[in-house]
Copies of this chain bind each other. A is one copy, B any other.
Amino acid sequence: MTGFMGTGKTAVGKELAARLGFEFEDTDAQIEKEAGCSVSQIFRGKGEPYFRRLERRMVRRLKGRKEMVLATGGGMVLDPGNIRQLRKSGWLIGLTAKPHTVVKRLAEHRDRPILEKPNRLAEVRRLLGRRRSFYERADCLISTDGLSVGEVVDRIQDWLLARLNCTVPVRVAPNPYTIEIGWDILKDLGTRLAGLGMGRKVAVVTNPLIGRLYGGVTLRSLKKAGFQPLYVQIPDGERYKTIRWVNFIYDELLKHRFERSSCLLALGGGVIGDMTGFAAATYLRGIPYVQIPTTLAAQVDSSIGGKTGVNHPRGKNLIGAFHQPRLVYTDIKTLETLDRRNFVSGLAEVIKYGVIADGAFFGYLEAQLPRILERNPHYLLPAVKRSGEIKAEVVWKDEREGGLRRILNYGHTLGHALEAATHYRKYLHGEAISVGMSFAARLSLSLGLCKAESVERQERLLVRSGLPIAFPKIGQRAVLDAMAHDKKVRGGAIYFVLAGPIGRVSVRPVPAGKIQAQLRAFASGRRRRFGRK
């Protein structure tokens, strides 16, 4: 926080730090504490140059610190070296105010060395005039006149959240696309779509719950950008992910004469995304569609990669097609309204990405889990982004699941079987995958592919997230049989994604006997069910 005295650096900084869960520091206060006397006293006793030296030393000392809001003295920015140092450590937020406001706010304060002269207003004007160009070098400059402390912090937070917006490329041929991730970006959807060069007819496919929450802002944004949006509502729930409801979408599109240039928008979670994508893949042999995922699982997994489909009475996702979206538009803010169980279920996939492809990311999740669970966008968004990057890269390298893409199925072989054996009623997908990851890790350990520490770290992070890593007695036959049905089976052999050190996996066929033995060990003994809330 930089700015002239009286612009509210300390008050705003403290409030901002509180909201972000950061520490708060004030260079003046720190200097006073260490010197054992006030800034005015230092000015009077040792002169301004001496004080500036103390300031510089303080900046150098604080520059490596993270997760801190630092309020600086009003003259700090006069030294270009200080600005450089501060900018390396984070954002420079500048607060400004008109001279009158400054004088008024300072009326209550005594201990201001520079302003002890008779004509305060003239002196403020003079100093502000001299320093303006320095303050304006801030990354973010906010006029505080007429605003409460809370309002100033709101604006800073908006600015900081907008800095999170980012783009992840998905380099599939022949039509690459991007994942656009941001905070509160749903309102800008129309403008963004207008740049894709499609027809004016778009259909927003969603369910009643998501429609009530985000249908309004979506439709308004589309209309404002000149689109003619059609609203298509599907009942909420996996059991409506059927050919029958895809047929309902067809009917709506045909009724409104949707053409090949028309576009479908999937506003919702995985069910909406898969069905809308499948409708887009098969309507007039393929029309464009955009994914607007509103659940964590959809944002980090199902919306990326072009897998679309519906369920069949004999199993999930048995009917479908590969059809890449034209854009994945991910508004992290929509996760605010996601219930905890679904949010945590989505986290299982995020953790999976760490295990299969990025040990450092796994470490980030271990360190930042509490903030991610609070859905603090500053920690959540980077996790969504990194997950998207990993998925996009794997998909790019292997669009049709020839080989590499199978590593995304870490934890899924047992996970799918568990879901099937419990008739998709007991576990959310991520919960089953969590159990599956624990199983795959233990199977990997038993095959000598990873160390016990790797298994422990995985299980600890899953449990801390609130995910299950064991399942109660289920007929092993049922689970094994369900595994044999899984579409990852080739020529009768059961292929497993197995863990190496965190960040590395491999795909290998595992003999049924080995799996059965591990299942016995896994389901019995002293293992409890962890973490389900």
Contacts and interface: CB of A to CB of B under 8 A. Distances in A.
A282 interface: yes
Contact of A261 (B199, B307, B319, B491): B491
Contacts of A322: 285-286
A247 interface: yes
The binding surface of chain A is classed by DSSP as mixed
Interface residues of A, number: 36
A165 B8 CA distance: 88
A285 B321 CA distance: 4
Interface string A272-312: 00000010011111100000000000000000000111001
A245 interface: no
B286 A250 contact: no
B319 A485 contact: no
B282 A282 contact: yes
Contact of A259 (B257, B278, B284, B487): B487
Interface string A307-335: 11100101101111110000000000000
Given A243-B243, A307-B285, A312-B254, A490 B321 contact: no
A286 B321 contact: yes
A104 interface: no
Contacts of A281: 321
A400 interface: yes
B487 A199 contact: no
A412 B490 CA distance: 43
Given A247-B243, A250-B312, A321 B282 contact: yes
Contacts of A285: 307-309, 317, 320-322, 401
Interface in A196-255: 199, 243, 247, 250-251, 254
B261 A318 contact: no
A514 interface: no
B318 A283 contact: yes
B318 A321 contact: no
A260 interface: yes
Max chain B Cβ within 10 angstroms of own Cβ: one of A250, A286, A319: A319
A54 interface: no
Nearest to A255: B314
A490 B320 contact: no
A28 to B, nearest CB: 63
17 contacts: A243-B243, A254-B315, A254-B318, A257-B485, A259-B487, A259-B491, A261-B490, A281-B321, A282-B309, A282-B320, A284-B320, A285-B307, A285-B321, A285-B322, A285-B401, A286-B322, A321-B321
Given A283-B318, A285-B307, 13 more contacts: A199-B491, A243-B243, A250-B312, A250-B319, A254-B312, A260-B487, A278-B282, A282-B309, A282-B319, A283-B319, A284-B320, A285-B320, A286-B400
9 smallest CB-CB distances across A and B, nearest first, come from A285-B320, A254-B314, A284-B487, A282-B319, A282-B321, A285-B322, A321-B321, A285-B321, A281-B321
